[in-house]
Chains A and B, each alone.
Chain A
Amino acid sequence: VRIGFPRALYYFDFYPFWAGFFYSLDIEFVTSQPTHRGIMESGLKMADDETCLPVKLFVGHIGSLKNVDYIFLPRMVSVEEKTYLCPKLLGIPESILSAINRDIPIITVTINWREGQNRVLKALAAFGIELGKGEILIRNAFKEALKWQAFYEELRRSGKDFQESIDLCERSFAFLSGNISYKLLKSKKSKENQDPGDFRPRIALVGHAYLINEQYANLDLVNKLKNNVDLLLIEEAEAEVIENSLKGLRKKLFWSDSKKILGAGSSYVDDETVDGIIYLSCFGCGTDSMSQDILARRARKAHKPYMVITLDEHSGEAGLVTRIEAFLDMIFRRKDNENNFSAYGEYMDNY
């Protein structure tokens, strides 16, 4: 059997988990091609108008999956206690059924960590019957999947970028059969050798994984920034740091993505060495509308340069480049004029 998985949306967060799961079950697990123009256009044409860009891309990717026996669209309800993922993920696969061509059967399983690991295992066991795999196999596969995911997250924290981490993850498990070489996990990104006089700003890029790692749709924002600045990503933030910087909220956030974004984002706001924060969002994102606003308030109070980039299907490259340049110019100027306090001892941006 060949199972197809769209390279969009939760792919960017949980691919290692599913790859490990199916690898352990000895089922061929393939993903669609990286997003290209054709995928994006078919997604825009087929998907519901009102939904967000990542879901539209998701639909496009499903359409581009050929030569597979099944398409695997899990329903990811929650991945940790007391939180949910976005409601649009809860509605998958039903919400996109009317948008896709249904020649290839769809298989799904509900993943809900809210009620603990046993419930997840139960759901997977039921799913295993569909796949024709026994409970012991599923149990092992689940363990393997968790290992892959943990290793992937470790790699990301050590500063490897998305594609590199996925490749390393696949290589070390699939080809070295589990003998993970922990040498891969080098210590934290060391500051590259640079001229001490040469100022390179440290910029944090925050946002959903499926926007930041979606190279085509975000117009290769990550590499554009990396050419000019030292880039920090939320995947590199430690869980502890995230938890700590969320303490200022009177009510806990109930979306895991937003928790990560806001937690890591707030830690960058408090971090003196970070020169600016860029929030990458997409039009119509419900969770971002809340977390972005809270983060913006925090950044404003701390006088931290902050910019929101909203993606949609019409994003143009020139516009994006202009905004990044303007933002960086502002940071350079700020650096140059850092000692020029106003006579009243207040920041200019108070007015």
Chain B
Amino acid sequence: MGNIWIIIKTLFELLNVEVVVPPLTSKKTLDLGTKISPESACLPLKINLGNYIEAAREGADTIAITGGFGPCRFGYYGELQRQILEDAGYSYDVVILEPPDGSMLGLLKRIRYLAGTQNSWGRIMKAIRFAYQKSVFIDRVEDLIHAARPRLENKQETELLYQRALNSLASTMSYRGLEEVIRSVQAEISERQAAQNYLTGSESAEPLRIGIVGEIYTILDPFSSADIEKQLGLLGVEVDRSIYLSSWVGKHVFLGLAQGYRSMDSYPKLAKPYLAHFVGGHGQETVGSTVKFIQKGFDGIIQLLPLTCMPEIVAAGILPRIQEDYNVPVMSLIVDEHTGRAGIQTRLEAFVDLLERSRCLKEKVSKETVPKETVPLGRMC
């Protein structure tokens, strides 16, 4: 799931547990997973299975997966994946990180099992805290990059900067190192921004802003979303998303004690007029964050969901009403193992065109007092 591997890797390395990081998710991973998955299961399950198979080839023998008690399907992934892998001939030990039948002791036992007997509880807590801190820093870097992508001219440099930052975050094992990474990213971005302003002699125009909401796995995992953030960045759009890794970690691993980089607490309240009850997964958060983004003045909203995702289908049924009430375009993009990048790209381009046009119209109306002139399509701006 996107950059979560960095955090998990950090956590287990601090505990001296050997971690196998499977190759980044690719088409091949998905094919491997799809072959042994139930056909109508959702995309994340198929990708997970593909990852496990690739990890098994590199010697992994235990899977740690978080759990849940419904009603989203993810809560049952652990048990189903265990059965699938067993039948497919992989001897994996699956540890579901959740309090079984509500027993905290059961959860602690499972953590102890994963961590081995060498680690004291103090050390385990310390490792978890550091891993969490790292997730906050990853989110901060991502946020900086989201802002930099549409504003900096040299797109490739930005991507390189992002990769470099992630690599150094992955290898850093101290708080000071994390701070260091953020500082250098900030410095480089502002330096290049200044150089660019000097060359062009003006500040760059404010980019369009799009909020990405939806199912957590698809919005955090660049492979499943066909790199939607990067693609939008290349189209000159600044993106923000409803769920950040650290907020999820804070809410589910720390049981809400840690807020994460961006708190999700306000979402259910904002969603209330449209969806008064939680529906599992992040359905209510999707609705709430859509309202939040629109109130913050975003130009458009994109909802991402895997095919047949139950909570997000509920949300998708509600978003048209928000679109109507606030008059801000909302688009739902559905992804599955047959999704083609070109298809997504075309739809993104069309959506961005639509937003640009409506922004131009708005500006025109505010500038000219007599706008009664018909302008042929395409010459609007």
A-side interface residues toward B, CB under 8 Å? Answer: 48, 50-51, 75, 77, 82-88, 90-91, 94-99, 110, 249-255, 283-290, 292-294, 297
Which of B2-10, B66-74, B127-135 is the interface stretch? B66-74
B-side interface residues toward A, CB under 8 Å? Answer: 38-42, 67, 69-73, 75-76, 78-80, 82-84, 87, 96, 100-101, 274-281, 283, 307-311, 313-318, 320-321, 324, 332, 334
| B-side contacts of A289, CB under 8 Å | 38-42, 73, 308
User: Which chain B residue lies CB-closest to A84?
Assistant: B71
C-alpha spacing A50/B324, complex, angstroms = 20
A46 to chain B, nearest CB (A): 11
Q: List 27 A-B contacts (CB under 8 A).
A: A48-B313, A50-B316, A84-B280, A86-B310, A87-B283, A88-B314, A90-B279, A90-B280, A91-B283, A91-B314, A91-B315, A94-B275, A94-B276, A95-B275, A95-B279, A249-B79, A251-B96, A251-B100, A255-B70, A284-B307, A285-B308, A286-B73, A287-B73, A289-B308, A290-B76, A292-B38, A293-B80
C-alpha spacing A290/B39, complex, angstroms = 10
A96 to chain B, nearest CB (A): 6
A90 to chain B, nearest CB (A): 4
A50-B332, A51-B313, A290-B73 known, 14 other contacts, Cβ within 8 Å:
A50-B313, A50-B316, A50-B334, A51-B317, A83-B70, A87-B281, A87-B283, A91-B311, A91-B314, A94-B275, A95-B317, A284-B40, A289-B38, A292-B38
A75 to chain B, nearest CB (A): 6
> What's the count of A-B pairs with C-beta under 8 Å?
126
Contact between chains at B70 and A294 (CB < 8 Å) = no
C-alpha spacing A98/B308, complex, angstroms = 19
| With A84-B71, A86-B310, A98-B317 as contacts: A288 and B40 at CB distance below 8 Å | yes
C-alpha spacing A329/B83, complex, angstroms = 31
Which of B76, B283, B307, B317 has the most C-beta atoms of chain A within 10 angstroms of its own C-beta? Answer: B317
Contact between chains at B311 and A87 (CB < 8 Å) = yes
Which of B75, B76, B78, B332 has the most C-beta atoms of chain A within 10 angstroms of its own C-beta? Answer: B76
| A-side contacts of B314, CB under 8 Å | 87-88, 90-91, 94-95
CB < 8 Å: which of A84, A96, A290 contacts B317?
Answer: A96
B97 to chain A, nearest CB (A): 12
| B-side contacts of A88, CB under 8 Å | 279, 310, 313-314
CB < 8 Å: which of B84, B279, B317 contacts A99?
Answer: B317
Contact between chains at A250 and B82 (CB < 8 Å) = yes
| With A84-B70, A90-B278 as contacts: A286 and B42 at CB distance below 8 Å | yes
